[in-house]
Chains A and B, each alone.
Chain A
């Protein structure tokens, strides 16, 4: 069993077997990070480029560590210090990088579809590290890995995803993945932040957070993207926090064993109260697992000859 393509662009096109393969593979990579010598030679001699057109600490560092722990050479390019500021196009930048013989390019871009655009024009493997409002596949994979690790399975669980669903690539990837793996997904947020068509993806839509959280096995909070607040999608941060913020009292409606998750960075006191944030160890374990999952993805995509996607 192996992945069918050279790239990881999104969860939507993946089968449950492929998701399971990545999660199973990640299990063994988690051990590597727990050892004294946190390095295996699996990607020795490979070159990995982190091409980030958007700000990121967690994801970029996670990919960088994942690559380095697999013994790959990892180069970070952030657009503020690159030729992008001189007006070079995305494709020209990527082609120039590839001309220096790299094997894998990890792309974060504010435009949905940018990684797919590159993947069709490059020989290197392309990993989507978040594109616009489209997908953030490795985040969904690490979320699913964490849920499976904590609750033993994904099938049959009820997962409530709360927040700005419309602008959230994390939510989109998680909805595809969780439903493929047999979980029930509830989404909840202000009506202005719930895009149409979620029911077609298999999710149930809620506008009342207490009802969305009721009996849930997992409560996944999304970051309120304050930079988008100017669009006037909700009246104010305080009202948002009151209606869609997770506090201890709201959490008590969820299942007793419920996991509280957050992809970070958190807005304390907005979508999640400090009390809840500090009482859940899971949010940091998501970050730990992120390295293992990204190692697994890089390892699985690094095979010799792959059929053309």
Chain B
């Protein structure tokens, strides 16, 4: 069984355009960047959160705090996995109390990562509001969770795999569907 690239969904320009629109939507919905904080979910979400912060600075001339969140210890499949994943750093050095927090992830799929992220955030404080921004929404939710800001809606088969590659990880920048 070999995994190959079935379709190119977004290229470098496509990703950039989607993020620009999402940045505008975040500012529109929250009427500016006051009280706004961005938290990227390890690992892909962290790069995207940093990029959104740059875009918001370009649009609004405001510096928005950016943090990273690792949800490993909050996963609901730890007891059944063969081996444990290595946790990455959680780095939220600013106060999140009463802030408007935008969680950022590359792909939303079953919604279980977001559930874990929400639980984790509650252990750090109580934001006034939490919103979700994703580059790709591929459907197949197993929990009642939806994204507030979506770069690309992408209907997929649950057997396929969506891969977001970013230059920050070294290499190409694109979103592709992988399949057999």
Judge whether A37 and B123 touch: CB under 8 Å. Answer: yes
Judge whether A302 and B78 touch: CB under 8 Å. Answer: yes
Task: Report the separation of the CA atoms of residues A2 and B81 in the bound assembly, to the nearest whole angstrom.
Answer: 11
Contact with A along B68-83 (1 / 0, CB 8 A): 0010111100111111
Judge whether B119 and A41 touch: CB under 8 Å. Answer: yes
Task: For chain B, residues 83 to 99, give those with C-beta under 8 angstroms from any C-beta of chain A.
Answer: 83-84, 86-90
Which residues of A have CB within 8 Å of B74?
A: 40-42
Contact with B along A22-34 (1 / 0, CB 8 A): 0011011101100
Q: Which single member of A2, A28, A45 contacts B89 (CB below 8 Å)? A: A28
Chain A: residues with Cβ within 8 Å of the partner, total of 27
Tell me the dominant secondary structure on chain A's binding face: loop
Total CB contacts across the A-B interface at under 8 A: 60
Q: Which single member of B72, B83, B87 contacts A303 (CB below 8 Å)? A: B83
Q: Which single member of B73, B75, B80 contacts A304 (CB below 8 Å)? A: B80
In the complex, the chain A residue whose C-beta lies closest to that of B125 is A36
Which residues of B have CB within 8 Å of A37?
A: 123-124
Q: Contacts A35-B123, A40-B73, A41-B74 known; A24 to B80 CB distance under 8 Å?
A: no
Judge whether B123 and A39 touch: CB under 8 Å. Answer: yes
In the complex, the chain B residue whose C-beta lies closest to that of A4 is B83
Task: Report the separation of the CA atoms of residues A302 and B75 in the bound assembly, to the nearest whole angstrom.
Answer: 13
A-B contact pairs, 21 of them (CB 8 A): A1-B83, A2-B84, A25-B84, A25-B87, A27-B89, A32-B73, A36-B125, A37-B124, A41-B73, A41-B74, A42-B72, A45-B79, A46-B79, A300-B84, A302-B84, A303-B78, A303-B82, A303-B83, A304-B79, A304-B82, A305-B82
- Which residues of B does A touch, CB under 8 Å? 70, 72-75, 78-84, 86-90, 119-120, 123-125
